[in-house]
């Protein structure tokens, strides 16, 4: 950008340094400025660039590839890639089938609906998704969240099964609509507002809550509380200890949970045996089902699955509520479930994209995930998203493209078509053991400890979300996570940190005197820097959680800096510092403070509140006979200072390019001495 100076630079006398004046950017027309702002906010990646100067036929092909990436990478697909995808697809299928049956129970749905959700959605995603590694299907946290929110509206999922299913499909439909809307209008940045610390706490609390819910099947309890808080669950468990526990069920559950944990340990210790924990759940289901069948343990009180409908997904278009009493409830539940599902999927996709060094378009991912959930809601599926455990197995098994999802979907199709009767004698205890072993990874002590070391306020947010989920409910925990995240953002924006700067010896560099004790204050001058930011060094939301709970913990990616906005409510703080400095001056007999220099280089934008605060500070300093001086304001800041008349009020000759220039204009002799 061309810069025109406020006034021509000039040479001071020979003994004075050359001082550059702050440049004022050229004026832009209102429409041009609005267009540039919209482009920077929503189209920073310039998604239409490939279409420029292309014939219509080429533009059509590029548009088709943008919507369906499979037509782009499919041209280079070969047998070697298929071999990797086939092995990976079969591996994740062996993991997903038993998990899906268990996750459906978390959502208070019949087992087949979990399998349905691993058939249609992965097929849609394979054509529209841009991630090569993500594995699609039901996940524990979303299943629990959906089941809890649905049960709040329909208390008896068994007695009112038809209405419950219809509301589940309606919520899934609107979850998809939410995801597509965010992607189409490029509003994906909204999911980054959730603090990663709050998500760590929420996921950990959800993991404990899910594990506690499995005690019903793990211990063979028939009458169990519908509440999810730890107090109610433990009361229900111990109240039934004398007459409700089944020792055969406990033996099955403990035995196979131990087997699954050992399998996970083997896979973690030696990456070559990644397939051991992947096939562990399927082996557990086969062995436990065979054991129950030959011993007829179901007649001894061991609860079993009993029946899974055979056949592929039936249509559910006519079951979605598009009007009536449950419509708004479905919309509300769908938005919440869709946002949580989207958060996890995008984080997982970015994690593995970074590992394989390819780009992932978050907005395209949202459209793909939303479309698969919209179609899924019409084919008897509930909310599906990216599963971290399956995606990690998919990655370790050597997947090359999204074809691994197609392979998995085909295996699930064959299971639905021919194998579901074989699950009749599968004990509920083994499903509980599979879910417990899967959700243990959600509880990440290392991540919580790291948060404690880095930021105590983040740790409070983490613990608030954690205890909200564990001791109250999932939705309260989520509400706490969202509330604390927004509170922290507002606090950081409206209460920016400030610091006093001093001169490093034998340089013209000015730094924080707390960080550099050797930095010397300039006599008669107080130099303050405004450290304003939106979110400081904040990893992308659940990506931090996912990375920290796997062997990929060391690979963190930080987002581009958020827009820095100035909410300069720091007059009182600066005046307090001035009072402290004046007290020191009076005691030591040093030069009285005559100049206040505000370093604005960290501030990239300013609003009307900031302008008013600046003017208020200027008037307060005038009463104290102290001159306000600004150093290094950015183009947006200096432009708005001039547009508001604040630059003229402060004085254009009191605005400098660097702190050193500002100090030199105030007290050149002192600068030389420092």
Q: What is the pLDDT of residues 247-290, one digit of tens each?
A: 999 999 999 999 999 999 999 888 888 889 999 999 999 999 99
Which pLDDT belongs to residue 607? 78
Residue-wise burial string across 429-445, b where 16 or more C-beta atoms lie within 10 A, e elsewhere: bbbbbbbbbbbbbbbbe
Q: What is the DSSP letter of 164?
A: H
Q: What pLDDT sits at residue 134? A: 94
CB-based contacts of 97, cutoff 8 Å, min separation 6: 115, 118, 282, 285, 411, 412, 415
Q: How many residues can be counted in the chain?
A: 674
Lowest-pLDDT range, 249-253, 286-290, 438-442, 538-542?
A: 538-542
Tell me the average pLDDT across 72-82.
Answer: 93
H/E stretch holding 135: strand 135-137
Q: Which residues contact 424 (CB under 8 A, 6 or more apart)?
A: 304, 305, 306, 307, 308
Residue scoring higher pLDDT (663 or 4): 663
pLDDT tens string 342-389: 988 988 888 888 888 888 888 889 999 999 999 999 999 999 999 888
Cα-Cα-Cα-Cα dihedral sign, residues 290, 293, 296, 297: positive
Q: Which residues contact 298 (CB under 8 A, 6 or more apart)?
A: 292, 304, 425, 427
- Give the confidence band of 541 by pLDDT, cuts at 50, 70, 90: very low
- How many Å apart are CA 411 and CA 431, to the nearest integer? 20
pLDDT of residue 11: 42
pTM, to two decimals: 0.79
Instruction: For residues 612 and 136, give the distance between their C-alpha atoms in angstroms, rounded to a whole number.
Output: 51
User: What is the share, in percent, of the chain residues with pLDDT greater than 70?
Assistant: 88
For the cut 60, the answer to whether the pLDDT of residue 591 exceeds it is yes
pLDDT band of residue 496 (cuts 50, 70, 90) is low
For range 484-495, the mean pLDDT: 74
Residue 95 near residue 284 (C-beta atoms within 8 A) = no
Segment 97-120 shows an average pLDDT of: 95
Average pLDDT over residues 212-238: 91
What band does 609 get if pLDDT is binned at 50, 70 and 90?
A: confident
Strands 655-656 and 627-631: parallel
Output the six-digit token pair for 169: 């499909």
Among 450, 390, 490, which residue's Cα sits nearest to residue 137?
390
Give the mean pLDDT of 480-499: 76
pLDDT of residue 478: 83
In this predicted structure, which of 34-48, 421-435, 548-562 has the lowest mean pLDDT?
A: 548-562
In the prediction, which pLDDT does 531 show? 65
CA–CA distance, 217 with 224 (Å, rounded to integer): 10
- pLDDT score at 196: 81
DSSP 546-613: HHHTSTTTT---PPPPPPP-B----HHHHHHHHHHHHHHHHHHT-PPP-EEEEE-TT---B-HHHHHH
Q: How many beta carbons lie within 10 A of that of residue 412, not counting itself? A: 26
Rounded CA gap, 438 and 432, in Å? Answer: 10
172: CB partners within 8 A, 6+ apart: 334, 337, 373, 376, 377, 381, 382, 383
HEC states along 658-669? CHHHHHHHHCHH
547 pLDDT higher than 80: no
pLDDT greater than 60 at residue 7: no
Rg (CA), the chain: 30
Determine the pLDDT at residue 327: 95
When comparing pLDDT for 426 and 486, which is higher?
A: 426
Q: How confident is the model at residue 18 (pLDDT cuts 50, 70, 90)?
A: low
- Contact status, residue 533 vs residue 578, Cβ threshold 8 Å: no
d(Cα 172, Cα 165) in Å, to the nearest integer? 10
Q: How far apart are CA 501 and CA 513, in angstroms?
A: 6
pLDDT digits (tens, 9 = 90+) for 315-343: 999 999 999 899 999 999 999 999 999 98
pLDDT top residue among 520 and 14 = 520
When the pLDDT of each residue in the chain is averaged and rounded to a whole number, the result is 84
* pLDDT-derived band at 418, boundaries 50, 70, 90: very high
Helix (H) or strand (E) holding 630: strand 627-631
Name the strands in the sheet holding 497-503, side by side, starting at the edge strand that comes first in the sequence: 510-512, 497-503, 525-531, 595-599, 627-631, 655-656
Q: Identify the three-state secondary structure at position 252.
A: helix
pLDDT, position 672: 45
Residue 595 pLDDT greater than 80, yes or no: yes
**Tokens 């009112």, residue?**
160
Question: Whole-angstrom Cα distance, residue 389 to residue 135?
Answer: 9
pLDDT reported for residue 553? 35
Residue 670: pLDDT over 90: no
pLDDT of residue 610: 78
Tell me what pLDDT residue 451 has.
Answer: 92
User: Which sign does the torsion angle of CA 191, 535, 496, 454 carry?
Assistant: positive
Q: In which element (H, E) is residue 32 found?
A: helix 30-42
137 forms beta bridges with: 385
Structure confidence at residue 17 (pLDDT)? 58
Q: What is the DSSP letter of 25?
A: P
């Amino acid at each position: 950008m061309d810069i025109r100076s406020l006034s021509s630079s000039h040479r001071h006398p020979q003994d004075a340094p050359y001082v550059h004046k702050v440049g004022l950017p050229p004026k832009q027309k209102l429409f041009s400025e609005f267009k540039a702002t919209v482009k920077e906010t929503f189209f920073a990646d310039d998604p239409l660039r490939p279409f420029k100067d292309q014939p219509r036929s080429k533009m059509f092909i590029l548009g088709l590839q943008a919507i369906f990436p499979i037509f782009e990478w499919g041209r280079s697909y070969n047998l070697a890639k298929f071999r990797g995808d086939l092995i990976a697809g079969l591996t994740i299928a062996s993991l997903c089938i038993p998990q899906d049956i268990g996750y459906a129970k978390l959502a208070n749905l019949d087992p087949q609906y979990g399998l349905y959700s691993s058939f249609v959605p992965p097929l849609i995603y394979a054509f529209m998704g841009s991630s090569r590694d993500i594995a699609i299907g039901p996940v524990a946290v979303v299943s629990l969240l959906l089941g809890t929110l649905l049960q709040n509206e329909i208390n008896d999922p068994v007695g009112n099964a038809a209405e419950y299913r219809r509301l589940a499909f309606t919520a899934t439909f609107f979850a998809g609509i939410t995801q597509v809307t965010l992607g189409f209008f490029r509003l994906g940045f909204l999911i980054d507002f959730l603090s990663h610390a709050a998500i760590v706490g929420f996921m950990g609390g959800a993991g404990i809550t899910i594990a506690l819910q499995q005690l019903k099947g793990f211990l063979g309890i028939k009458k169990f509380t519908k509440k999810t808080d730890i107090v109610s669950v433990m009361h229900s468990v111990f109240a039934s200890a004398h007459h409700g526990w089944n020792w055969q069920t406990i033996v099955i559950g403990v035995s196979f949970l131990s087997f699954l944990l050992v399998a996970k340990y083997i896979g973690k210790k030696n990456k070559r045996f990644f397939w051991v924990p992947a096939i562990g759940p399927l082996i557990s289901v086969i062995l436990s089902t065979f054991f129950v069948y030959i011993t007829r343990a179901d007649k001894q009180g061991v609860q079993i699955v009993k029946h899974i409908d055979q056949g592929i997904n039936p249509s559910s278009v006519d079951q979605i509520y598009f009007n009536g009493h449950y419509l708004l409830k479905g919309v509300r539940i769908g938005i919440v479930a869709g946002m949580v599902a989207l958060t996890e999927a995008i984080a997982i996709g970015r994690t593995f994209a970074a590992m394989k060094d390819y780009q992932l378009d978050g907005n395209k991912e949202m459209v793909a995930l939303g479309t698969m959930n919209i179609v899924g809601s019409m084919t008897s599926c509930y909310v599906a998203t990216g599963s971290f455990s399956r995606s990690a197995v998919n990655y370790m098994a050597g997947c090359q493209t999204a074809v691994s999802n197609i392979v998995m979907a085909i295996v699930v199709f064959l299971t639905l078509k021919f194998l579901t009767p074989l699950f009749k004698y599968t004990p509920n205890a083994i499903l509980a053991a599979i879910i417990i072993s899967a959700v243990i990874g959600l509880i990440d002590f290392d991540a919580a400890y790291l948060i404690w070391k880095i930021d105590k306020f983040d740790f409070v947010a983490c613990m608030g979300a954690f205890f909200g989920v564990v001791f109250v409910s999932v939705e309260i925990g989520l509400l706490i996570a969202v509330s604390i995240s927004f509170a922290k953002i507002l606090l950081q924006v409206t209460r920016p940190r400030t610091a006093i700067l001093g001169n490093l010896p034998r340089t013209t560099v000015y730094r924080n005197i707390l960080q550099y004790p050797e930095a010397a204050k300039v006599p008669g001058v107080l130099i303050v820097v405004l450290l304003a930011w939106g979110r400081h060094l904040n990893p992308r939301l659940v990506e931090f959680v996912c990375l920290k709970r796997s062997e990929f913990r060391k690979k963190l990616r930080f987002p581009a800096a958020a827009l820095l906005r100035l909410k300069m409510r720091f007059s009182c703080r600066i005046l307090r510092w001035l009072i402290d400095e004046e007290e020191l001056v009076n005691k030591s007999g040093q030069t009285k403070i005559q100049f206040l220099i505000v370093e604005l280089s960290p501030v990239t934008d300013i609003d009307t509140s900031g302008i008013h605060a600046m003017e208020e500070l200027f008037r307060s300093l005038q009463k104290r006979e102290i001159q306000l001086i600004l150093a290094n304001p950015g183009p947006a800041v200096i432009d708005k200072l001039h547009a508001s008349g604040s630059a003229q009020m402060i004085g254009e000759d009191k605005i400098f390019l660097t702190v050193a220039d500002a100090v030199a204009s105030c007290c050149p002799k002192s600068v030389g001495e420092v």
